[in-house]
Protein backbone atom coordinates (compact mmCIF):
# COMPACT_ATOMS: atom_id res chain seq x y z
CA UNK A 1 0.00 0.00 0.00
CA UNK A 2 1.42 3.35 -0.99
CA UNK A 3 0.10 6.69 0.18
CA UNK A 4 0.33 9.78 -2.01
CA UNK A 5 1.40 13.17 -0.73
CA UNK A 6 -2.13 14.56 -1.18
CA UNK A 7 -3.70 11.67 0.72
CA UNK A 8 -1.23 12.08 3.57
CA UNK A 9 -1.89 15.83 3.82
CA UNK A 10 -5.63 15.14 3.82
CA UNK A 11 -5.30 12.72 6.71
CA UNK A 12 -3.01 15.08 8.62
CA UNK A 13 -5.53 17.84 7.98
CA UNK A 14 -8.12 16.04 10.08
CA UNK A 15 -6.05 16.40 13.26
CA UNK A 16 -6.07 19.83 14.88
CA UNK A 17 -3.32 21.12 17.17
CA UNK A 18 -4.70 21.88 20.64
CA UNK A 19 -5.42 25.58 21.35
CA UNK A 20 -4.78 26.50 17.76
CA UNK A 21 -6.62 26.78 14.47
CA UNK A 22 -3.88 24.84 12.73
CA UNK A 23 -4.10 21.22 11.65
CA UNK A 24 -1.08 18.91 11.32
CA UNK A 25 -1.22 19.51 7.56
CA UNK A 26 -0.68 23.22 8.14
CA UNK A 27 2.66 22.68 9.84
CA UNK A 28 4.12 20.40 7.16
CA UNK A 29 7.21 21.90 5.53
CA UNK A 30 8.16 18.97 3.30
CA UNK A 31 7.01 15.44 2.30
CA UNK A 32 9.09 12.94 0.34
CA UNK A 33 7.46 9.62 -0.50
CA UNK A 34 9.31 6.78 -2.20
CA UNK A 35 8.58 3.03 -2.53
CA UNK A 36 10.01 2.13 0.84
CA UNK A 37 10.02 5.31 2.86
CA UNK A 38 8.04 8.35 3.90
CA UNK A 39 9.87 11.41 5.10
CA UNK A 40 7.69 14.04 6.73
CA UNK A 41 9.12 17.36 7.96
CA UNK A 42 7.06 19.63 10.15
CA UNK A 43 7.61 22.86 12.01
CA UNK A 44 6.01 23.87 15.30
CA UNK A 45 5.89 27.39 16.70
CA UNK A 46 8.12 27.91 19.73
CA UNK A 47 5.18 28.10 22.12
CA UNK A 48 3.93 24.71 20.83
CA UNK A 49 7.24 22.93 21.37
CA UNK A 50 5.82 20.94 24.32
CA UNK A 51 3.59 19.08 21.84
CA UNK A 52 6.51 17.88 19.78
CA UNK A 53 6.45 14.25 20.97
CA UNK A 54 2.70 13.77 20.69
CA UNK A 55 2.57 15.37 17.24
CA UNK A 56 5.38 13.05 16.14
CA UNK A 57 3.50 9.98 17.42
CA UNK A 58 0.21 10.96 15.80
CA UNK A 59 1.94 11.61 12.47
CA UNK A 60 3.85 8.33 12.63
CA UNK A 61 0.62 6.42 13.36
CA UNK A 62 -1.19 8.01 10.45
CA UNK A 63 1.64 7.05 8.10
CA UNK A 64 1.91 3.56 9.59
CA UNK A 65 -1.82 2.88 9.16
CA UNK A 66 -1.66 3.92 5.53
CA UNK A 67 1.55 2.22 4.36
CA UNK A 68 2.88 -1.31 4.11
CA UNK A 69 4.61 -2.87 7.05
CA UNK A 70 8.36 -2.34 6.82
CA UNK A 71 8.05 1.14 5.26
CA UNK A 72 10.65 3.40 6.78
CA UNK A 73 8.99 6.32 8.48
CA UNK A 74 10.91 9.47 9.27
CA UNK A 75 9.06 12.29 11.01
CA UNK A 76 11.23 15.32 11.75
CA UNK A 77 9.83 18.18 13.74
CA UNK A 78 11.71 21.41 14.21
CA UNK A 79 10.70 24.23 16.48
CA UNK A 80 10.51 27.59 14.86
CA UNK A 81 12.47 30.25 16.70
CA UNK A 82 10.44 33.37 16.24
CA UNK A 83 12.85 36.04 15.10
CA UNK A 84 12.66 39.09 17.38
CA UNK A 85 11.42 42.15 15.53
CA UNK A 86 14.44 44.23 14.58
CA UNK A 87 14.76 47.39 16.66
CA UNK A 88 16.30 50.54 15.29
CA UNK A 89 19.34 52.05 16.95
CA UNK A 90 19.82 55.67 17.90
CA UNK A 91 22.41 55.90 15.11
CA UNK A 92 19.72 54.99 12.59
CA UNK A 93 16.98 57.09 14.18
CA UNK A 94 19.21 60.15 14.47
CA UNK A 95 21.24 59.69 11.30
CA UNK A 96 19.93 62.93 9.79
CA UNK A 97 20.27 65.00 12.98
CA UNK A 98 23.27 67.31 12.70
CA UNK A 99 23.61 68.58 16.27
CA UNK A 100 22.36 67.16 19.55
CA UNK A 101 22.33 69.79 22.28
CA UNK A 102 21.73 68.87 25.93
CA UNK A 103 20.17 71.54 28.15
CA UNK A 104 21.26 70.83 31.71
CA UNK A 105 21.60 72.35 35.16
CA UNK A 106 22.69 71.06 38.50
CA UNK A 107 19.87 72.62 40.50
CA UNK A 108 16.19 72.09 39.77
CA UNK A 109 13.78 74.83 38.82
CA UNK A 110 16.36 77.20 37.33
CA UNK A 111 14.54 77.36 34.00
CA UNK A 112 15.94 74.55 31.79
CA UNK A 113 12.56 73.74 30.30
CA UNK A 114 11.64 77.39 29.80
CA UNK A 115 15.00 78.03 28.10
CA UNK A 116 14.71 74.83 26.01
CA UNK A 117 11.22 75.72 24.78
CA UNK A 118 12.08 79.32 23.93
CA UNK A 119 15.46 78.49 22.37
CA UNK A 120 13.97 75.76 20.20
CA UNK A 121 11.40 78.20 18.79
CA UNK A 122 14.04 80.95 18.38
CA UNK A 123 16.32 78.52 16.51
CA UNK A 124 13.45 77.41 14.27
CA UNK A 125 12.62 81.04 13.49
CA UNK A 126 16.07 81.40 11.87
CA UNK A 127 14.99 78.79 9.31
CA UNK A 128 16.75 75.88 11.00
CA UNK A 129 15.06 72.50 11.38
CA UNK A 130 14.64 71.94 15.10
CA UNK A 131 13.47 69.18 17.44
CA UNK A 132 12.96 69.24 21.20
CA UNK A 133 13.08 66.07 23.25
CA UNK A 134 11.79 66.31 26.80
CA UNK A 135 14.08 63.89 28.64
CA UNK A 136 12.64 64.73 32.03
CA UNK A 137 10.77 61.46 32.20
CA UNK A 138 9.80 62.03 35.86
CA UNK A 139 8.48 65.56 35.36
CA UNK A 140 7.84 66.29 31.69
CA UNK A 141 7.22 69.96 30.84
CA UNK A 142 6.99 70.05 27.05
CA UNK A 143 3.30 69.06 26.72
CA UNK A 144 2.19 71.96 28.93
CA UNK A 145 4.71 74.51 27.67
CA UNK A 146 3.55 73.88 24.10
CA UNK A 147 -0.16 73.53 24.93
CA UNK A 148 -0.11 69.96 23.64
CA UNK A 149 -1.27 68.09 26.72
CA UNK A 150 -3.71 65.90 24.83
CA UNK A 151 -1.42 65.19 21.86
CA UNK A 152 -0.81 61.55 20.99
CA UNK A 153 2.05 60.94 18.57
CA UNK A 154 1.45 58.25 16.00
CA UNK A 155 3.76 55.36 15.17
CA UNK A 156 4.64 54.79 11.53
CA UNK A 157 6.62 52.12 9.68
CA UNK A 158 9.84 53.61 8.38
CA UNK A 159 12.31 51.27 6.65
CA UNK A 160 10.58 48.34 8.35
CA UNK A 161 10.91 49.84 11.83
CA UNK A 162 8.00 51.13 13.90
CA UNK A 163 9.01 54.71 14.67
CA UNK A 164 7.31 57.43 16.72
CA UNK A 165 6.43 60.56 14.74
CA UNK A 166 6.99 63.72 16.81
CA UNK A 167 4.26 66.34 17.25
CA UNK A 168 4.91 69.67 15.47
CA UNK A 169 4.16 72.99 17.11
CA UNK A 170 5.49 76.52 16.50
CA UNK A 171 7.83 75.07 13.85
CA UNK A 172 9.48 72.63 16.30
CA UNK A 173 9.23 68.83 16.35
CA UNK A 174 8.35 67.76 19.88
CA UNK A 175 8.54 64.56 21.84
CA UNK A 176 7.95 63.92 25.51
CA UNK A 177 7.17 60.93 27.68
CA UNK A 178 4.27 63.14 28.80
CA UNK A 179 2.56 62.34 25.48
CA UNK A 180 2.41 58.67 26.46
CA UNK A 181 1.89 58.47 30.23
CA UNK A 182 0.19 60.57 32.85
CA UNK A 183 2.82 62.56 34.80
CA UNK A 184 1.65 61.03 38.10
CA UNK A 185 2.29 57.55 36.68
CA UNK A 186 5.83 58.35 35.53
CA UNK A 187 6.65 59.80 38.95
CA UNK A 188 6.63 56.39 40.61
CA UNK A 189 8.79 54.70 37.96
CA UNK A 190 11.87 52.89 39.03
CA UNK A 191 15.12 54.20 37.57
CA UNK A 192 15.37 51.38 35.06
CA UNK A 193 11.92 52.15 33.66
CA UNK A 194 12.81 55.81 33.26
CA UNK A 195 16.08 55.07 31.48
CA UNK A 196 14.49 52.52 29.16
CA UNK A 197 11.72 54.99 28.34
CA UNK A 198 14.36 57.56 27.40
CA UNK A 199 16.26 55.00 25.33
CA UNK A 200 13.09 54.19 23.44
CA UNK A 201 12.45 57.87 22.70
CA UNK A 202 16.05 58.25 21.49
CA UNK A 203 16.14 55.04 19.45
CA UNK A 204 12.66 54.84 18.02
CA UNK A 205 11.70 58.32 16.86
CA UNK A 206 11.63 59.50 13.27
CA UNK A 207 13.07 63.00 13.64
CA UNK A 208 13.87 63.22 9.95
CA UNK A 209 16.35 65.90 8.99
CA UNK A 210 17.22 68.25 11.85
CA UNK A 211 19.85 70.94 12.30
CA UNK A 212 19.40 70.94 16.06
CA UNK A 213 17.85 68.48 18.47
CA UNK A 214 17.58 70.03 21.94
CA UNK A 215 17.31 67.66 24.88
CA UNK A 216 15.68 69.15 27.98
CA UNK A 217 17.19 67.21 30.87
CA UNK A 218 15.98 66.69 34.42
CA UNK A 219 17.98 68.48 37.14
CA UNK A 220 21.16 66.95 38.54
CA UNK A 221 23.62 64.52 37.03
CA UNK A 222 21.91 61.17 37.29
CA UNK A 223 21.02 58.05 35.33
CA UNK A 224 19.11 59.93 32.65
CA UNK A 225 22.23 61.96 31.80
CA UNK A 226 24.39 58.87 31.63
CA UNK A 227 21.82 57.02 29.53
CA UNK A 228 21.74 59.95 27.12
CA UNK A 229 25.52 60.10 26.62
CA UNK A 230 25.64 56.31 26.31
CA UNK A 231 22.93 56.31 23.65
CA UNK A 232 23.59 59.34 21.44
CA UNK A 233 26.62 61.45 20.49
CA UNK A 234 25.87 64.76 22.24
CA UNK A 235 27.38 67.65 20.27
CA UNK A 236 27.49 69.86 23.34
CA UNK A 237 25.76 70.92 26.51
CA UNK A 238 24.22 74.23 27.53
CA UNK A 239 24.30 74.79 31.28
CA UNK A 240 21.47 76.83 32.78
CA UNK A 241 21.90 78.50 36.14
CA UNK A 242 20.51 81.37 38.15
CA UNK A 243 23.07 83.88 39.51
CA UNK A 244 22.61 82.50 43.03
CA UNK A 245 25.66 80.85 44.70
CA UNK A 246 23.81 77.63 45.47
CA UNK A 247 22.70 77.25 41.84
CA UNK A 248 26.22 78.05 40.59
CA UNK A 249 27.72 75.36 42.84
CA UNK A 250 25.38 72.79 41.27
CA UNK A 251 25.98 74.12 37.76
CA UNK A 252 29.72 73.51 38.27
CA UNK A 253 28.90 69.88 39.11
CA UNK A 254 26.99 69.60 35.84
CA UNK A 255 29.97 71.04 33.93
CA UNK A 256 32.25 68.51 35.62
CA UNK A 257 29.98 65.65 34.65
CA UNK A 258 30.00 66.58 30.96
CA UNK A 259 33.75 67.19 31.04
CA UNK A 260 34.48 63.97 32.91
CA UNK A 261 36.94 61.50 31.52
CA UNK A 262 35.22 59.18 29.00
CA UNK A 263 32.15 61.46 28.72
CA UNK A 264 33.86 64.49 27.16
CA UNK A 265 30.85 66.43 25.94
CA UNK A 266 31.91 70.03 25.16
CA UNK A 267 30.17 72.84 27.03
CA UNK A 268 28.65 75.20 24.45
CA UNK A 269 28.04 77.88 27.04
CA UNK A 270 26.22 79.07 30.13
CA UNK A 271 22.77 80.65 30.16
CA UNK A 272 22.19 82.76 33.23
CA UNK A 273 18.46 82.79 33.89
CA UNK A 274 16.51 85.02 36.28
CA UNK A 275 19.43 87.47 36.07
CA UNK A 276 17.38 90.42 37.28
CA UNK A 277 13.77 91.35 37.63
CA UNK A 278 12.43 93.96 35.27
CA UNK A 279 8.88 95.27 35.63
CA UNK A 280 7.35 95.49 32.16
CA UNK A 281 6.32 99.11 32.79
CA UNK A 282 9.87 100.09 33.96
CA UNK A 283 12.16 98.18 31.58
CA UNK A 284 15.21 100.21 32.58
CA UNK A 285 14.92 99.13 36.23
CA UNK A 286 16.83 96.02 37.20
CA UNK A 287 16.49 94.30 40.56
CA UNK A 288 19.10 91.60 41.18
CA UNK A 289 16.93 89.24 43.22
CA UNK A 290 19.22 86.19 42.99
CA UNK A 291 22.48 88.16 42.99
CA UNK A 292 24.36 89.86 40.17
CA UNK A 293 26.29 88.18 37.35
CA UNK A 294 26.77 84.83 39.09
CA UNK A 295 26.51 82.92 35.80
CA UNK A 296 28.65 85.45 33.99
CA UNK A 297 31.41 85.13 36.59
CA UNK A 298 31.19 81.37 36.50
CA UNK A 299 31.55 81.42 32.70
CA UNK A 300 34.66 83.64 33.00
CA UNK A 301 36.19 81.52 35.73
CA UNK A 302 35.79 78.23 33.85
CA UNK A 303 36.59 79.61 30.41
CA UNK A 304 33.08 78.99 29.06
CA UNK A 305 30.97 81.39 27.03
CA UNK A 306 28.07 83.28 28.50
CA UNK A 307 25.32 82.69 25.94
CA UNK A 308 22.85 85.05 27.53
CA UNK A 309 21.35 86.64 30.59
CA UNK A 310 17.59 86.20 30.73
CA UNK A 311 15.72 88.51 33.10
CA UNK A 312 12.83 87.48 35.32
CA UNK A 313 9.78 88.68 33.45
CA UNK A 314 6.30 87.87 34.56
CA UNK A 315 5.23 87.09 30.99
CA UNK A 316 7.90 84.36 30.68
CA UNK A 317 6.17 82.42 33.45
CA UNK A 318 2.67 83.29 32.25
CA UNK A 319 3.33 82.40 28.62
CA UNK A 320 5.00 79.14 29.69
CA UNK A 321 1.93 78.18 31.68
CA UNK A 322 -0.32 79.13 28.76
CA UNK A 323 1.59 76.92 26.35
CA UNK A 324 2.72 79.82 24.18
CA UNK A 325 6.40 80.51 25.01
CA UNK A 326 7.20 84.21 25.31
CA UNK A 327 9.69 84.23 22.42
CA UNK A 328 6.62 84.03 20.15
CA UNK A 329 5.64 87.57 21.14
CA UNK A 330 7.91 89.85 19.13
CA UNK A 331 9.73 92.93 20.37
CA UNK A 332 9.56 92.16 24.07
CA UNK A 333 12.47 92.06 26.53
CA UNK A 334 11.96 88.30 26.79
CA UNK A 335 11.85 87.51 23.08
CA UNK A 336 14.91 89.66 22.37
CA UNK A 337 16.86 87.94 25.16
CA UNK A 338 15.98 84.46 23.87
CA UNK A 339 16.73 85.32 20.24
CA UNK A 340 20.10 86.80 21.13
CA UNK A 341 20.92 83.69 23.17
CA UNK A 342 19.88 81.44 20.27
CA UNK A 343 22.14 83.37 17.84
CA UNK A 344 25.11 83.04 20.18
CA UNK A 345 24.38 79.35 20.58
CA UNK A 346 24.37 78.83 16.79
CA UNK A 347 27.76 80.58 16.55
CA UNK A 348 29.20 78.46 19.33
CA UNK A 349 27.92 75.23 17.81
CA UNK A 350 29.59 76.17 14.51
CA UNK A 351 32.80 77.06 16.34
CA UNK A 352 32.72 73.79 18.25
CA UNK A 353 32.17 71.78 15.05
CA UNK A 354 35.05 73.55 13.32
CA UNK A 355 37.53 73.20 16.15
CA UNK A 356 36.66 69.91 17.80
CA UNK A 357 36.09 66.36 16.61
CA UNK A 358 32.58 64.91 16.76
CA UNK A 359 31.54 63.54 20.14
CA UNK A 360 31.54 59.77 20.51
CA UNK A 361 28.82 57.81 22.25
CA UNK A 362 30.13 56.91 25.71
CA UNK A 363 30.89 53.20 25.76
CA UNK A 364 30.78 52.59 29.47
CA UNK A 365 30.80 54.66 32.61
CA UNK A 366 32.24 53.07 35.71
Ligand X SMILES: Nc1ncnc2c1ncn2[C@@H]1O[C@H](COP(=O)(O)OP(=O)(O)OP(=O)(O)O)[C@@H](O)[C@H]1O
**Residues found near ligand X in the complex (CB under 6 A):** 105, 108-114, 136, 139, 141, 218-219, 273-274, 310, 312-313, 316-317, 320
Least distance from C-beta 116 to Mg ion, angstroms?
8
d(CA 61, CA 11): 11
Residue 72 touches which of Mg ion, ligand X, none (Cβ within 5-8 Å per kind): none
Residue 114 touches which of Mg ion, ligand X, none (Cβ within 5-8 Å per kind): ligand X
Least distance from C-beta 111 to Mg ion, angstroms?
8
Q: Which is nearer to Mg ion, 38 or 270 (CB)?
A: 270
CA Rg, the chain, in Å?
A: 30
Secondary structure E strands in the chain:
28-33, 37-45, 72-80, 97-104, 130-134, 155-158, 161-164, 167-169, 172-176, 210-216, 236-241, 267-277, 306-312
Least distance from C-beta 243 to ligand X, angstroms?
12
Give the count of alpha carbons within 13 A of 206, CB side only.
13
Residue 317 touches which of ligand X, Mg ion, none (Cβ within 5-8 Å per kind): ligand X
Least distance from C-beta 320 to ligand X, angstroms?
4
Q: Which is nearer to Mg ion, 112 or 225 (CB)?
A: 112
Q: Give the rounded distance of the alpha carbon of 280 from its chain centre.
A: 39
Least distance from C-beta 119 to ligand X, angstroms?
11
Q: Which is nearer to ligand X, 101 or 110 (CB)?
A: 110
Q: Which is nearer to Mg ion, 99 or 113 (CB)?
A: 113
d(CA 159, CA 211): 22
What is the DSSP-derived secondary structure letter of residue 1? -
- 236-241 vs 267-277, strand pairing mode: parallel
Backbone torsion region of residue 269, taken as left when φ is above 0, otherwise alpha when ψ lies between -120 and 50, otherwise beta: left
- In the complex, residue closest to Mg ion by CB: 113
Burial class (CB in 10 A: 0-12, 13-18, 19+), 98: middle
Least distance from C-beta 221 to ligand X, angstroms?
12
Q: Which is nearer to ligand X, 111 or 266 (CB)?
A: 111
Q: Does 113 bind Mg ion (CB under 5 A)?
A: yes
In 3-state terms, what secondary structure has residue 13? coil
What is the DSSP-derived secondary structure letter of residue 345? H
Q: Which is nearer to ligand X, 117 or 167 (CB)?
A: 117
Q: Does 141 bind Mg ion (CB under 5 A)?
A: yes
Least distance from C-beta 112 to ligand X, angstroms?
4
Q: Which is nearer to Mg ion, 40 or 257 (CB)?
A: 257
Q: Give the rounded distance of the alpha carbon of 174 from its chain centre.
A: 11
In 3-state terms, what secondary structure has residue 342? helix
Q: Does 99 bind Mg ion (CB under 5 A)?
A: no
Mark 41-80 with x for binding to Mg ion (rule: CB under 5 A) and - for no binding: ----------------------------------------
Residue 254 touches which of Mg ion, ligand X, none (Cβ within 5-8 Å per kind): none
Residue 167 touches which of Mg ion, ligand X, none (Cβ within 5-8 Å per kind): none
Q: Which is nearer to Mg ion, 48 or 141 (CB)?
A: 141
List phi, psi (to 5°) of 312.
-80, 120
Residue 283 touches which of ligand X, Mg ion, none (Cβ within 5-8 Å per kind): none
Helices 112-124 and 314-322, interaxial angle, to 10°?
80
Q: Using CB under 5 A as the criterion, which residues of the chain lie in contact with Mg ion when the complex forms?
A: 112-113, 141
Amino acid sequence: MKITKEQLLKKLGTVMLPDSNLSLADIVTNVIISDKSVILNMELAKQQSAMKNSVEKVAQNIIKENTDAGTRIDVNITTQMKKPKPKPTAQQALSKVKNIIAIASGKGGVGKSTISANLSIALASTGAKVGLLDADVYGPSVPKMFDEETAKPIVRKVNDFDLIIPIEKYGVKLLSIGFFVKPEDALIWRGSMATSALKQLLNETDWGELDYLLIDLPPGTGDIHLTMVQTVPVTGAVIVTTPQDIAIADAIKAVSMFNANKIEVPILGIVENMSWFTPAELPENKYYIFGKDGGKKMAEKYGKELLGQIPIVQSIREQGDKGKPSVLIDNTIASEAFKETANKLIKNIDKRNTNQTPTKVVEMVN
